Amino acid sequence: MNALTISIPRLPVGDAFEAAINGMRQSLGGLFDFIGLVIRTCVDALYGLFAETSATQFTLLAAAVIAGGLIVRGKYRPTLIAGGVWLVLYVAELVGGVAAAIITSLPPVLFTPAMNLFGAEYVYPPLVLALLLLAALVAISFTAGRNTGQELLAALSAVVLFVFLALHFIVGVQLELLVMPLLALLALVVAGWRVAVFAVLGFLLIMSMDKWDNAMSSLALIVVATAVAVVVSLPIGILAAKNNKVSAVVKPVLDFMQTLPAFVYLLPAIAFFSIGAVPGVIATVIFAMPPGVRLTELGIRQVDKELVEAGEAFGAPEMQILRRIQLPLALATIMAGVNQIIMLSLSMVVIAGMVGAGGLGNDVYTGIAQGNIPVGFEGGLAVVVLAIYLDRLTGAVTRFSPAARAARAAK
């Protein structure tokens, strides 16, 4: 007797998925092009900041540090006015060359000494605007509020800026040797001297392997992907913590996203955005986002209900309770989610290298594809240095939370 054979009809799941992607690409092609342009611009800008920093970017970075100090000290109005005027002039320069026309009408003697010092052939208008913004913020720091800490911050930022400009553009010191101390200083302020020492040694190792440019390319991709993932996951996690029905819907979706193989995310990303850094960022965001949603929801749900009820008893609106009570107390758990997002983003670096994202992932993929062990191992070692640096940095942010400060004060 023949065995009973039951035929199971084939469901064209893959074909339906491809048809859906093609339909979305045809109907939303302009939106995807805009998203790709924004992501590509952000990645290129960050890479330029880390690996090809210009004098204008150095100046704007110093201005941002001073502006941050002013905002922390409550000097919102003068800081926003200075920033707004700079933005208007910058846009006017991009659109109609307004700043260039003004500079041309001024006496050349104002710019000749600086041009001779830096060996420049012409005056770059965005740099002049950035220097004016820096001067305005320094003036605000010394006139508004008379705060010694802010005055010291402004003076130190200006001095460090001009030292960096002189070392790089006059003396000729390599850019990586100037960016590396800034990354180490950030580690010192946030995580302590041990992480700062590791940052110096680790980044020196990356330089010695000639992987600095690729490491900064990967760092730019990770920062953009992490920022997008946090911006998307944080509201979803808050909504899931506030509404059980939303949580019930979100959880199976997150389970599906975490169990789907990482390579599968590249298929729609390539279909929508071709190859390059953009599909790498998109695939990384989708792959890394679930822990951010889960831990944001968990952190808010773990906040003591008595504290929330106390806020309600004082008549605080729901948004104020979220902003002043729940989010600060859940910061440690939320930052653990951000940490996981960064670690998963790093794990996607190699896979993103397969679709032309560049960076260290391309080195590792080249080493595997060509059997080039030195190139692959050095790329992987640089990824490890970045992973440890970012892990310690994000892990230390929680010590600035209200709960951590209260615990230190109780000792």
Q: Are residues 160 and 296 in the same domain?
A: no
d(CA 133, CA 90): 11
Q: Are residues 247 and 147 in the same domain?
A: no
Q: Are residues 60 and 153 in the same domain?
A: yes
pLDDT in tens, 92-108: 877 777 777 777 776 76
d(CA 361, CA 363): 5
Q: What is the pLDDT along the chain (411 residues), one digit of tens a residue?
A: 566 777 788 888 878 877 888 888 788 778 888 888 888 888 888 888 787 777 888 888 888 888 888 888 888 888 888 888 888 888 887 777 777 777 777 676 666 666 665 556 667 778 888 888 888 888 888 887 677 788 888 888 888 888 888 888 778 888 888 888 888 988 888 888 898 999 999 999 999 998 888 888 888 888 888 888 889 999 999 999 888 888 899 999 888 888 888 778 777 788 777 777 888 888 888 888 899 899 999 988 888 888 888 887 888 788 888 888 888 888 888 888 888 888 888 888 777 777 777 788 888 888 888 888 888 888 889 988 988 898 888 888 777 666 666 666 666
Of 72, 227, 40, give the one whose Cα is nearest residue 141.
72
Of 60, 61, 58, give the one whose Cα is nearest residue 118.
58
For the chain, the domain total comes to 2
d(CA 254, CA 297): 12
Q: Are residues 234 and 374 in the same domain?
A: yes
pTM for the predicted model, two decimal places: 0.82
Q: Are residues 164 and 232 in the same domain?
A: no
Domain span including residue 340: 213-404
Domain boundary among 173, 199, 227: 173
Give a yes or no: residue 47 inside a domain: no
DSSP 314: T
Q: Are residues 89 and 226 in the same domain?
A: no
Contact status, residue 330 vs residue 296, Cβ threshold 8 Å: yes
Q: Are residues 66 and 116 in the same domain?
A: yes
Q: Are residues 68 and 169 in the same domain?
A: yes
Q: Are residues 141 and 247 in the same domain?
A: no
Q: Are residues 237 and 111 in the same domain?
A: no
Residue type, 311: G
Q: Which CATH number characterizes residue 375's domain?
A: 1.10.3720.10
pLDDT in tens, 204-244: 999 999 888 888 888 888 888 888 888 999 999 999 988 88
Give a yes or no: residue 41 inside a domain: no
Give a yes or no: residue 203 inside a domain: no
